[in-house]
Structure 1
Amino acid sequence: MSKKQWPSWGHGEQAQQHYLVEPRALAGGGDVRHVHAFLRACGWRDKTQRGGPLALQSPDRTVRIEYQPAGMPGGWTIQGAAAPGRDAWWAHLGAQTPVEIVAGFTDALTQPRAAHAPNVWAPLREQRWRRPPETEHVTATSPDGSAWVQYRPSAGGGAMWWSGAQDRQGNGWVAQFTPSTPLHLVEAFTAALASPEPVMRPLGHVPHSARLRTTSVSVLPSQLGAWQQARITAARAATWASTAPRNARPRSTAARHHAPTGGARARH
């Protein structure tokens, strides 16, 4: 474990101890506001009822997301309505799935699709995930063996995407996606899963795992707030740009620098 301290602390603020955790797949669930606040900034409606799970609905009412921290099954459930040429779909990610990985999937729901054909395996290959040749199903595993992605075809129509992470202490999670889940969303998930960037967790929220590498950092509350607000501001700006009348948009915008989110290193 190493320690790092941010310079230029403000007056009257008490720095808090956090940890940069890697690999991110085993970092634990994290703060659900990383997902929730971003979607709200993108115009999603909060459908949470008293005593019920956190619930969000897309502006066009075609996708619903629920988060249940406990229960069977706990975690994130995303349901998409049928569309021309595509059946209804769903995805479930366990409660200990890091929110940064969940956000890889859910953020993609708010963004225009890329022009290229999606490739679920491409982000894994870029990070040197292995494809063991002697497996019953098409599988890729992370370099340290703690995480995996698998596609299980079935002649009976029960094909499924599976993913997850686990260590020897029993920490971990499992995610599954129906075969009708749009592949660009699954690709966004694998990109977030395979990212080598560490994620940030506060003191007391780092799982006990022999596989984790942590860097201790002292962070001001104002810094955390600024990083979180930058993510929300970016979401609002992108939403406005996609919905505002063309003649109301500025002809040019200067490039803006956004501070890192809770899962990125601050650079000075």
Structure 2
Amino acid sequence: MITWRQLDAFANEYASKLGSPVSPRYLAGPGDPRHVTHALCAAGWSTPCDPLHPVIRMQSPDQQHELVFKPSAQYARNWWTVHSGFGPSNWYAAFSGSTPVEIVAGLTDTLLLPEPEETARENFTAILTTRGWEHTTDELGGHQIMSPDRTAMVEQRISPSMGRCGWEIEVARHHGPHGPEGLLWRASLDIRTPGHVLGAVATALSDPAPVPRPRFTIDESPHLTVGRENVIGEQIVTAHQQRLAEARQHRPTTPPAAARPAPNTPVVASPARSR
């Protein structure tokens, strides 16, 4: 569970900060990682890691999902990695350091919910195109989906040797004929990623609602809409408390069943040695 010290530290950090609402959120900058980790902890995820080590490892109550947060000096490297499942059905997703936490949370939040039926899973491409993103296909059947401001690219390639690949997201200051120019962040979603998880990422990626960012952390991109600056501390803290309250509703009421220990093998006395 989140301790009062952790909540107090979060509230004190934002108590009197100035900031602004910004959109689109894929250009908002990374934000606070506790938006993700506090919610998972409130939902019952454990942290089987050294608390003095900078790498955070979290596991879901049923141990089917694992999140690793590994900060690096290079924001282009993967900071967030999610592994899920076992065997041939396992899948993974990775996000680089500058990925907005609201987009990472789009994936992790859906892991707190029961998995929907196959027929209820949303279509990754349809969600983005419905919100005005441009969808094209190549001669092999690969997909390319571009945001209206042409800064975010979602792509699924088809390799002649390996077949259909997973989804790649790249957000840059501009996408030119030779690829992204001024890369801001990237994400990779495994080909085996379930449809409802892809749908949650697409929804978070294209959500038009602005997100708050403190002063001096806001990028100067001409494609970023910045609202009026004000004291955002109370707003952020209140929203965070509400987020944790919602996450606690998904906390298991009973602990997952532990593996039953093997029955004790009776000890058979050795036959007496004859003299």
Q: State the Cα distance separating 1:26 from its structure 2 match.
A: 1.1
The structure 2 residue matched to 1:80, chosen from 84, 107, 118, is 84
The answer to whether structure 1 residue 209 and structure 2 residue 225 are counterparts is no
Runs of 4+ in 1 over 4 A off after TM superposition: 133-136
Q: State the Cα distance separating 1:21 from its structure 2 match.
A: 1.1
Aligned sequence identity (%) = 32
State whether residues 101 and 192 of structure 1, in contact with CA within 8 Å, keep that contact through their aligned partners in structure 2.
yes
SS of the residue corresponding to residue 89 of structure 2 reads coil
Cα distance in 2, alignment partners of residues 28 and 106 from structure 1: 18
Aligned residues: 229
The answer to whether structure 1 residue 26 and structure 2 residue 31 are counterparts is no
The answer to whether structure 1 residue 54 and structure 2 residue 56 are counterparts is yes
State whether residues 28 and 98 of structure 1, in contact with CA within 8 Å, keep that contact through their aligned partners in structure 2.
yes
Deviations 1:152-174 (A, max 9, x none): 23342561211121115725111
State whether residues 17 and 203 of structure 1, in contact with CA within 8 Å, keep that contact through their aligned partners in structure 2.
yes
In structure 2, relative to structure 1, the CA distance for the partners of 1:52 and 1:81 (3 Å cut) is farther
What is aligned with 1:38?
Answer: 39
The answer to whether structure 1 residue 108 and structure 2 residue 138 are counterparts is no
Q: State the Cα distance separating 1:14 from its structure 2 match.
A: 7.3
In structure 2, relative to structure 1, the CA distance for the partners of 1:117 and 1:16 (3 Å cut) is closer
1:121-160 paired onto structure 2 within 5 Å:
121-133=125-137, 137-154=142-159, 155-157=161-163, 159-160=165-166
Which protein is bigger by CA-based radius of gyration?
A: 2
Q: State the Cα distance separating 1:63 from its structure 2 match.
A: 1.3
State whether residues 15 and 218 of structure 1, in contact with CA within 8 Å, keep that contact through their aligned partners in structure 2.
no
Q: Give me the TM-score of the superposition, normalised by structure 2.
A: 0.75
Structure 1 unaligned runs (5+)? Answer: 1-12, 245-268
Q: State the Cα distance separating 1:201 from its structure 2 match.
A: 0.5
Cα distance in 2, alignment partners of residues 138 and 220 from structure 1: 39
Cα distance in 2, alignment partners of residues 220 and 28 from structure 1: 16
Cα distance in 2, alignment partners of residues 53 and 67 from structure 1: 6
In structure 2, relative to structure 1, the CA distance for the partners of 1:14 and 1:48 (3 Å cut) is closer
Let me know the Cα RMSD of the aligned residues.
2.4
What is aligned with 1:163?
Answer: 169
Deviations 1:69-107 (A, max 9, x none): 215733111111326xx5221111111110001000110
Q: State the Cα distance separating 1:207 from its structure 2 match.
A: 1.9
Cα distance in 1, alignment partners of residues 60 and 18 from structure 2: 36
In structure 2, relative to structure 1, the CA distance for the partners of 1:161 and 1:220 (3 Å cut) is closer
State whether residues 124 and 190 of structure 1, in contact with CA within 8 Å, keep that contact through their aligned partners in structure 2.
yes
State whether residues 20 and 232 of structure 2, in contact with CA within 8 Å, keep that contact through their aligned partners in structure 1.
no
Q: State the Cα distance separating 1:221 from its structure 2 match.
A: 3.3
Q: Which amino acid aligns with 2:28?
A: A
What is aligned with 2:121?
Answer: 117
Deviations 1:223-243 (A, max 9, x none): 322211000001112336xx4
In structure 2, relative to structure 1, the CA distance for the partners of 1:236 and 1:214 (3 Å cut) is same
State whether residues 71 and 79 of structure 2, in contact with CA within 8 Å, keep that contact through their aligned partners in structure 1.
yes
Structure 2 unaligned runs (5+)? Answer: 1-13, 175-180, 255-275
